[in-house]
Structure 1
Amino acid sequence: MMSGQHRQQETVQPALPRNLAARSIGALLSVAISVIHVIDQGGFPGSVTPPYVGILFYVLEFAGIVTAILLLAGFVGLGWFLALGISAGPLVCYLFSRGTGLPGYGDDIGNWLEPLGILSLVVEAGLFVLAAAMLKSLVRPGKVRTAGG
Structure 2
Amino acid sequence: MRATDQGRRLPSSLVDSRRQGQRWVVAAAALVAGTAHLPVIAPHLAEAPYMGVLFVVLSAGCLAIAATIWFRDPAVLYVLAVGTCGLAVLGYAATRLVAFPLLGDDLGNWWEPLGVLSVGSETVAVAAAVSALLGRPRTATDRHRPAPVRLAGLR
Query: Per the shorter chain, which TM-score range?
Result: 0.7 to 0.9
The TM-score with structure 1 as length reference comes to: 0.76
Give the alignment partner of residue 119 of structure 2, picking from 112, 118, 121.
121
Number of positions where the alignment pairs a residue of Structure 1 with one of Structure 2: 131
1:131 Cα offset (Å): 0.8
Mapped to 2, the partners of 1:47 and 1:61 lie a distance apart of 15
* Paired-residue identity, %: 26
Give the alignment partner of residue 55 of structure 1, picking from 40, 53, 57.
53
Contact residue 98 and residue 108 of structure 1 kept, 8 A: yes
Q: Which residue identity does 2:103 align to in structure 1?
A: Y
Give the alignment partner of residue 138 of structure 1, picking from 113, 117, 136.
136
Structure 2: gaps (5+ residues): 1-10, 145-149
Mapped to 1, the partners of 2:113 and 2:76 lie a distance apart of 31
Contact residue 70 and residue 78 of structure 1 kept, 8 A: no
Structure 2 equivalent of residue 92 of structure 1? 90
Residues 113/135 of structure 1: CA separation in 2 closer, same or farther (3 Å cut) = same
1:79 Cα offset (Å): 1.3
1:139 Cα offset (Å): 7.1
Matches within 5 A, 1:22-61: 22-41=22-41, 46-48=42-44, 49-61=47-59
1:104 Cα offset (Å): 3.3
RMSD of the TM alignment (CA)?
2.3
Structure 2 equivalent of residue 3 of structure 1? none
Larger radius of gyration: 1
Residues 130/84 of structure 1: CA separation in 2 closer, same or farther (3 Å cut) = same
Contact residue 30 and residue 86 of structure 1 kept, 8 A: no
SS in 2 for 1:103: coil
Q: Which residue identity does 1:20 align to in structure 2?
A: Q
Could you say which structure has the higher helix fraction? Answer: 2
SS in 2 for 1:15: helix
Stretch deviating more after TM superposition (22-31 or 72-81): 72-81
